[in-house]
């Protein structure tokens, strides 16, 4: 059964502070998701992929992030573990994301994934 493609895409603006916003796009697939997170403008940046099968997570940095490498990898691993599948994430940032910003971004992504999982039969 084909689903409407708009149901598989979520787009949001995450406001970190009055001067910094991130554009979040999540595209859901049967076996995982592709997340793009971009500061101010819609661009592709660093790319990290993680896969989780049977509680074993493997990750690879395809294009490393100079400013927030561990943050990108932790998002990718966390989401792949939640979905028990593949998470491909791209992060484009102009400036370093501080700890408070990371918490805001991580919470927004996890909340979005959890909401999607509750609405999808295959993850129930």
Cα–Cα dist 77/84, whole Å: 10
Q: What are phi and psi of 101, to 5 degrees?
A: -65, -40
Please indicate whether residue 3 or residue 59 has the higher confidence score (pLDDT).
59
Cα–Cα dist 84/4, whole Å: 23
pLDDT at 121: 63
Q: Walk me through the domains of the chain, giving residue ranges and CATH numbers.
A: 5-123 (3.30.230.90)
pLDDT in tens, 27-48: 999 999 999 999 999 999 999 9
Least confident of 2-6, 54-58, 61-65, 102-106: 2-6
Element (H, E) at 47: strand 46-53
46 to each of 1, 12, 80, 82, 112, how far by Cα in Å? 34, 19, 17, 22, 21
pLDDT at 122: 56
Q: Global pTM?
A: 0.86
Contact 13, 24 (CB under 8 A): yes
**Short-list 75, 48, 72, CA closest to 61:** 48
Alpha helices in the chain (DSSP H): 69-83, 99-119
pLDDT in tens, 75-123: 999 999 999 999 999 999 988 889 999 999 999 999 999 998 887 765 5
Q: What are phi and psi of 100, to 5 degrees?
A: -65, -40
pLDDT at 2: 36
pLDDT at 114: 92
């Amino acid at each position: 059964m084909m689903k409407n493609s708009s149901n598989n895409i979520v787009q949001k603006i995450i406001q970190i502070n009055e001067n910094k916003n991130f554009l979040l796009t999540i595209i859901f697939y049967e076996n995982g998701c592709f997340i793009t997170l971009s500061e101010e403008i819609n661009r592709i940046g660093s790319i990290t992929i993680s896969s989780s099968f049977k509680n074993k997570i493997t990750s690879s940095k395809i294009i490393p992030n100079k400013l927030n490498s561990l943050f990108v990898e932790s998002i990718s691993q966390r989401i792949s573990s939640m979905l028990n599948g593949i998470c491909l994430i791209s992060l484009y940032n102009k400036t370093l994301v501080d700890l408070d910003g990371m918490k805001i971004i991580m919470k927004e992504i996890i909340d979005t994934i959890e909401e999607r999982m509750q609405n999808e039969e295959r993850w129930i």
